[in-house]
Amino acid sequence: MSKIRAKLEQVKSLKNGKGIQHLLNEAYKIVGNPMILHDMDYKLIAYVEGVIVDDPLWNELVQTGGIGKNTEGFIMQEGFIDDLANSNGKAAFLKSETLMYDRISKLVDNGHGVSVGELWTFEVNEPFEANDTEFIDAVGELISKELAKDQFYLKYGQAYQSTIMRKLIEGSIEDRRFYSVHVANLDRDLKDNIYLAVADTSQCNSPAHTNLEYFTDIFQRTRPAFKYMIYDNCIIILMSTDGTILYIKNVLGKLYGLFEQHNIYVGISSGFENLYELSKYYAQAVKALQSGLKSDGSQRIFLHNDED
C-alpha cells in the first residue's frame, strides 16, 4: 500500500505550468501506461508520444486528429459511453472483450465545472490494479488546472454545454445512446427536481439590455450552480432543487435581486427529472412567461400552471 501511496503522491506533485503534453509525458513515467486526451468532440488535444498502442481509437486519434462515425459507433457498442455516463465524473475501468487493451477513462473539466475532454489510459505496459483509477483521477485534476488557465477551454465548455442544451430543447438528439455521457455531464450537478427558466431581458432598464452575453455572465457568476445558455433572444436557466419551486426566491437566491434590479421577467416550467424532455418544459416556461406578461404587471416570476 505504501508503494501505491508514494506513486499517487508523485502524480499529485507534478507541476503545472508546462502544458498538458508535458504533464502527460511526466505522468506516463510514473503510471507506466500511455495516455491520450481528446475533447468532447473527439478532437485530439495531447498524447504520450513514442509509444506503440495497437488500438483503433488511439491510432485514429493520433493519425487523423479525430475519430469517424464507425469508431463512434464502436465505442457506443462497447458500452464505454454508458460506463462514463455512470462514473459520476470519476475515472472508470472500461473492459472490452474485443479490444487488445483494457483502459481507464476519465472526463476532464475546464476548471469551471464543465467537462471538456476525456483522458484515456491503456493497459499496454503495466497491468491495471484496482486503485489505478485514483492515479488517473489525480492526472485529470492536474489537467483541469492547466485548462482553467486557458480561455479557449472556458469558451469551449460554455459552447459545448449550450450545444447539448440546445439539442435537448429542440429535441434533435437522434440517438440517445451516443449522447448519454453528454446529457449525464449536464445532469451531474443537478438535484432531484429540475426546472427550466426563460428570462426575458427586453424590458431591461439599462443600456446593456441588448447584450445577452453580459447578463449570462452575471447570472453565471451570481449563481454558478445553475446552467445557462442564450436561446431565441432569451436566457435559458437550468436550475434544480431537492425541494419544490414554491419558495422560488430561496431557489433563485441572489438571481432574484438581479431580475428586480434590471427589470427582467422570467417564466419557469414545472419540475422534472428527465433532461430528454427539455423541449416540453421549455415550451411550458415560454408559455408561462407569455401568459404572465399579458396578465399581470406586478409580478416578475411566472410559474407554469397546468390549467394554462
Partner 1 sequence: MPIAITKEDLRSIKTVKALDGAMFSLLESRSFRTITIKDICEEALVSRATFYTHFTDKYDFLKWWLVRVCPDNLVNKDDSYEVMEQKINQFINGNKTLIKHLFIDADSWTLDALFDVFYIIMRMTTDKTTDGLANPKYIVISNFYIGGMIHYIMWQAKNNFPQNVTAMNNYLYEVIKTFQEWN
| Binding footprint of partner 1 on the chain (CB under 8 A) | 77, 79, 81-83, 85-86, 88, 176-177, 179-180, 183-184, 186-188, 192, 273-276
Instruction: Of 75, 83, 89, 95, give the one whose Cα is nearest residue 140.
Output: 89
Tell me the backbone φ, ψ of residue 224, rounded to 5 degrees.
-65, -15
The per-residue DSSP string of 20-58 comes to: HHHHHHHHHHHH-S-EEEEETT--EEEE-TT-----HHH
Smallest gap, in angstroms, from Cβ of residue 180 to partner 1? 4
Smallest gap, in angstroms, from Cβ of residue 283 to partner 1? 18
CB nearer partner 1, residue 79 or residue 253 = 79
Smallest gap, in angstroms, from Cβ of residue 156 to partner 1? 21
CB nearer partner 1, residue 81 or residue 91 = 81
CB nearer partner 1, residue 56 or residue 79 = 79
CB nearer partner 1, residue 120 or residue 265 = 120
Smallest gap, in angstroms, from Cβ of residue 179 to partner 1? 7
C-alpha span between 218 and 260 (Å, rounded): 14
Smallest gap, in angstroms, from Cβ of residue 185 to partner 1? 8
C-alpha span between 86 and 149 (Å, rounded): 28
C-alpha span between 269 and 289 (Å, rounded): 10
Cα-Cα-Cα-Cα torsion 217, 219, 223, 225, nearest 10 degrees, comes to: -60
CB nearer partner 1, residue 206 or residue 274 = 274
CA angle 251, 285, 257 (to 5 degrees): 35
